[in-house]
Amino acid sequence: MIEVYNAITNIANIIEKDVFIGYDNFTGENKTPEQIHNDVYQYCATIIEKEFEYLKSVKGIIGKDKKQFCAVNPEKGKYLVSFVAIDNIELLDVNFSLGTIFGIYENEFDPKNLKAAIYITYGPTFQLVFASKDEGVKYFSNEHGEFIQQDPLELEQKGKINSTAGIRSEFSQDHIDLINSFFEEGYRLRFSDSLSLDTHQILFKKGGIYSSPATRSNPNGTLELIFEAYPIAFIIELANGEAINGKERILDISSTELHQKTPIYFGSKEEIAKVKNHFS
């Protein structure tokens, strides 16, 4: 696991330097925002694939968008790595705060085999969060290219953040009633539309609720289990929180296909208890 962690810190430093500090290298007079976004995403995915290319402990890696499995050491490696190269590339045009998400599985992409989860936040908050069952949730800030460990992250029983993804006109009345009930209790809206950054906000504020519900256009939700929901749920649970799809624990849901999606509600235990009661 050490060589996997070291590879991810190398990836973080390269992407921060080349994309967020050296962003102008991706722009040009005739480039559209879509072309810039595609170039940045492809660059980040390539950096990730190259960094894992020779790791003896890694069986293979797969990215959310390409869904193309890249074998690394299929005979002797034991870890399978899923990744989201850039979490919501459109935020490049807003405030340069983006993230990368990794899930580290042993031998197969199953939540019971998830050994570690990591996300990186770039730009104004260049930080890394690492979670494993043995070590809990560790937080590292980057100082001059080196990740320095800070205090562990743990959620309190109840928070004050209400972060909900999606388009309100697409929400069910049940979901609208739920999020309104939190606002009526004085919860504050904090939402960036980046899963890693919104998770980071809840962890740093020590509580609250994030929701990405089923909608009319996406009745099965929008977050992919293997690449997004499993790793984030793993981190949240190890930080003393909970993550469910409305009723069922995310890490108890079996994924039958690579792109399987789910609604998700995660955060402090009191908030998730309220979600369970609301949908029961």
Give the chain's domains with CATH numbers. 2-149 (3.30.540.10), 161-279 (3.40.190.80)
Looking at residue 193, its pLDDT comes to 85
Rounded to whole angstroms, the Cα distance separating 265 from 70 reads: 31
CB 92 within 8 A of CB 80: no
Length of the chain: 280
Per-residue exposure over 173-198, b if at least 16 CB sit within 10 Å of its own CB, e if not: eebeebbeebeeeebeebbbebbbbb
Please tell me the distance from the alpha carbon of residue 143 to that of residue 239, in angstroms, as a whole number. 24
> Which parts of the chain register pLDDT below 50?
none
CB 221 within 8 A of CB 213: yes
- Give me Rg for the CA atoms of the chain: 18
Confidence at residue 23, expressed as pLDDT on a 0 to 100 scale: 80
Q: Which two tokens stand for residue 117?
A: 């989860």
pTM for the full predicted model: 0.94
> pLDDT value at position 93?
66
pLDDT of 68: 84
